[in-house]
Structure 1
Amino acid sequence: MKSFLDTSSTQNADNALQLRCGRHLLDLSFPRVMGILNVTPDSFSDGGRHVALDDALRHAERMLAEGAAIIDVGGESTRPGAAPVSPQEELDRVAPVVEALVRELDALVSVDTSCPVVMREASELGAGMINDVRALERDGALQAAAGSGLPVCLMHRKGEPQDMQQAPAYSRPIEEEVAEYLAGRIADCEAAGLRRHRLLIDPGFGFGKSVEHNLRLLKYLQSLHALELPILVGMSRKSMIGKVLARPVEERLPGGLALAAMAVERGASILRVHDVAATVDAVNMAWAVLQEGCELPLNQEQDA
């Protein structure tokens, strides 16, 4: 489903943000949707559904058809309370999926990993992006990411999955602490040879944050533009929606769409989601309002 707002084939490169992702060129002059593909048995929303390679491929194919620009493959659950997995176990889950997505679907694949071994192997298999919830803090991760030549998303978190939601607290407004942390990680990346134009940032909704923290972080998301990097957000189906609306995981889509539209209004470049088709519509509608009108789809029926 190609959006009528997708002007990547005709956009002048001089006034568009083009992110080189391996052999793919990602146009971030308008918001893009990243589809989540968890190949883990224990992710909070879809654990175990896409562990088989064929199931993973078919799900990715659906998300691409629905308008996903990126498929984010994760082999380690980072939900609250999740146990760590060994590098070999994570690699065994992720590598066959990345290889198949690149070979069979020519997809732009992001690998959701903190493991240097997985980063290196995935880049060799054709992945186009690294998405690290630990912002390259693990030993060897900075060097592996720098050596891959791929763009990297640095995420803020407080604590590890085992303990991050146990009474998280901040001494200053959360948006200030998040910005300070990310600025430090950006500096460390540049010192290690990872050039700034290859970096993205993620404020880390739900990673060591209360509901109130998450809501404030979204309210003041625009403050992160001071870092002058594309912003990725991931709020899809998260507990912040469940706690505000008293909805179980399977009933959180409407709340998630509201958050997605608000994130676009506040300048998010990439939205990481489970429900691609609905989010693409919400993103495109929000973007159309921000642009104060746009060219209509060729076959769209006009209101009578």
Structure 2
Amino acid sequence: MTVEIRNGTTVPEFALEGFPAVQHLGNVLFLVHLVAYLASITGNTLIITITWADHRLQTPMYFFLSSFSFCECCFITTVIPKLLSIFLLGPQTIHFTSCLAQAFSFLFLGSTIFFLMAVMSLDRYQAICKPLRYPTIMSLRVCFLLVVFCYTLAFIFITGLVLKLSRLSFCGSNVIPHFFCDFGSLIYLSCSDTRSLEMLAFCLAMLIIFTSFIITIIAYGNIVVTIVRLPSAKERQKAFSTCSSHLIVLSLMYGSCVFIYVKPKQRSRLDSNREAALVNTVVTPLLNPVIYTLRNKQVHQALREALSRLKLQK
């Protein structure tokens, strides 16, 4: 697949610009982001491993958390390796087909993460507001189907968007002012009439982000009411502690994504999008495992026991 331009020639690849203003700090930024990437992968992999290794953590809450961590690992792997190459070697080229694949993977996995976050909110609602019915409602089969539903819904939404994107014509410069094949940046380079595609992208962003947000707000609104009504201060603290980590992660995710995607004109604010995308692809995935593990006593206990077993084996 090639990109058509006005003079009749073809451009088989794009150039990812990255961050030209700080490219002179490339080696330092490479090390910083490499450490952040490895820490994110390690932390999320640790959550997945400890969840499946410890039978006490094989509950709906940790099933969704491990699914979320897996999706996060895939999500950051779609963009961070290319970012590291840019910091180390300068602007990088990417074939048009690979660019579309990267854009699809980024949007698909990002959308899945939002749906998973909504499902995690519903799980906390069921656990706190309907504890007696919780084991029956949130069975292993239901949990599995909910995760599959998240992936399927995201796939359906994003496939149509990227197929429409692939039909655009591109002209003039082939330099993408970003560190990955961002949807807004590709719109910026197109010489086609993109108004219908921009409106479709805006509507999908509204649907995905705000549907997830509304579900979360309703779920946590009910949770807060239930927690306030608990008779014991200890019970209230315990109930809130199971939700606080999730709320911190939600705030980081929603804040950066609303800034990037919920605007009708994708051509605007491209420079600021790069910084916001860094929060979404580097900072938040790095903080997620830290937030979830440091604030979770069950995970602490499981990690201590796992380390103790490793020491005994040595």
TM-score normalised by the shorter chain: which range applies? under 0.3
TM-score by length of structure 1 reads: 0.27
Of the two structures, which has the highest relative contact order with CA contacts closer than 8 Å and spacing of 6 or more? 2
Of Structure 1 and Structure 2, which has the larger fraction of its residues in strand? 1
The structure having more radius of gyration, on CA atoms, is 2
TM-score by length of structure 2 reads: 0.26
Of Structure 1 and Structure 2, which has the larger fraction of its residues in helix? 2
